[in-house]
Amino acid sequence: MAEDIKIQWNETFNEGDIKFSGGDLIRELGLRTAVMMSMYTDRRADPSDVLPDSLNNDRRGWWGDQINLDYEDDQIGSRLWLLERAKTTEQTLADAKFYTEECLQWMIDDEVVQDIEVEIERQNRKDGTATLAGRISIKQSDGTNKAFKFDDLWKAEILEAA
């Protein structure tokens, strides 16, 4: 498996960035950065998607997807951002699961991994509000498994599981 440039997550600013060590980019051998980039880069909303009122018809997305002529349906990121202000209903859970599977599908299509399973659940907080939590189980090409756990999908904090 090839090394990726590692994305270091900053909880204070809720953003990821690259870092240097000894004059070189910090790298990682694994799938963590691929999962983070896939889930927390905003994919362009489909024409049929209902946008939150506050966005003024901003469909977001990466500009490079507009000129990706070789792979018309290949888009970067996820549409999880469409659910940021949604109530945690059964439909929201189903949409979050679909959007997560959709954004990671490239890893199967490009034969980076064999299979991906996604579980999304409602998690109640101490303050009485609810959020979405999730687990992504990845079967790697060599047959080994890797799992990523999210206590809150909106914090972009991966708690790696076995």
Q: Against a cut of 0.85, is the pTM above it? A: no
Confidence (pLDDT) at 69: 58
Residue with tokens 């980076």: 112
> Which distant-in-sequence residues (6+ apart) come within 8 Å of 162 by Cβ?
147
Residue 48: domain span: 3-161
Confidence (pLDDT) at 129: 85
Which three-class secondary structure state does DSSP give residue 129?
coil
**Residue 40 DSSP symbol:** H
> Which distant-in-sequence residues (6+ apart) come within 8 Å of 98 by Cβ?
none
**Residue 78 DSSP symbol:** B
Confidence (pLDDT) at 43: 92
Confidence (pLDDT) at 141: 83
Q: What is the pLDDT along the chain (162 residues), one digit of tens a residue?
A: 456 667 776 767 767 777 778 888 777 667 888 898 899 889 999 889 988 876 678 888 877 777 765 666 678 899 999 998 888 899 999 999 999 999 999 999 988 899 999 999 999 888 988 889 999 999 988 888 999 998 888 776 676 654
The H helix count followed by the E strand count for the chain is 2, 10
Confidence (pLDDT) at 70: 64
Q: Taking the mean position of all CA atoms in its chain, how far away is CA 35?
A: 6
| Token pair recorded at residue 26 | 């910090």
- Angle at which helix 32-40 crosses helix 90-109, to 10 degrees, equals 130
Domain count along the chain: 1
